[in-house]
């Protein structure tokens, strides 16, 4: 999944440390909902799609369930750690969220080309 690396999708300071944030981004195959999570001066991004049922993980636009530091799918309770996006509890244990390549430059988050 990629798009133009010249278009920032958000500013790093818009992302709260360790808290999932939903961002709409223009990927090569069309717009997509992404989950971004900040870690200091870096960030990671995944598609907002649960590998178990193909539904968004959010329970409402931009709203995510968190429990014990894990991102929880609102549909079936699959729980994902925020470092690698791996499911550690629930129906898709061992599977992972689909990562989207990003990079942080000059305080902004860009899709990696």
Give me the residue label for tokens 């390549």. 101
- pLDDT digits 0-9 by tens, 12-34: 999 999 899 999 999 988 999 99
Q: What is the pLDDT of residue 89?
A: 96
Tell me, yes or no, whether 102 lies in a domain.
yes
Domain of residue 80 covers 8-111
Tell me, yes or no, whether 1 lies in a domain.
no
- In angstroms, the CA 76 to CA 57 distance is 9
Backbone angles phi, psi at 43, to 5 degrees: -155, 160
> What band does 2 get if pLDDT is binned at 50, 70 and 90?
very low
* Number of domains present in the structure of the chain: 1
CATH code of 80's domain: 2.102.10.10
User: Which strands form 21-27's sheet, in the order they lie side by side?
Assistant: 21-27, 30-39, 42-47
Q: Are 1 and 28 in contact (CB under 8 A)?
A: yes
Q: Is the pLDDT of residue 4 over 60?
A: no
- pLDDT digits 0-9 by tens, 29-81: 899 999 999 999 999 999 999 999 889 999 999 999 999 999 999 999 999 99
Tell me, yes or no, whether 52 lies in a domain.
yes
Tell me, yes or no, whether 96 lies in a domain.
yes
């Amino acid at each position: 999944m990629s798009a133009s690396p010249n278009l920032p999708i958000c500013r790093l300071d818009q992302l709260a440390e360790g808290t999932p944030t939903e961002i709409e981004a223009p990927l090569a195959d069309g717009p997509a909902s992404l989950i971004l999570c900040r870690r200091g001066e870096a960030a990671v991004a995944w598609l907002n799609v649960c590998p178990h049922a193909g539904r968004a993980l959010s329970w409402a636009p931009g709203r995510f369930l968190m429990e014990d530091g894990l991102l929880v799918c609102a549909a079936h309770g699959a729980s994902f750690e925020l470092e690698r996006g791996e499911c550690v509890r629930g129906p898709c244990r061992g599977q992972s969220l689909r990562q989207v390549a990003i990079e942080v430059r000059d305080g902004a988050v860009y899709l990696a080309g």
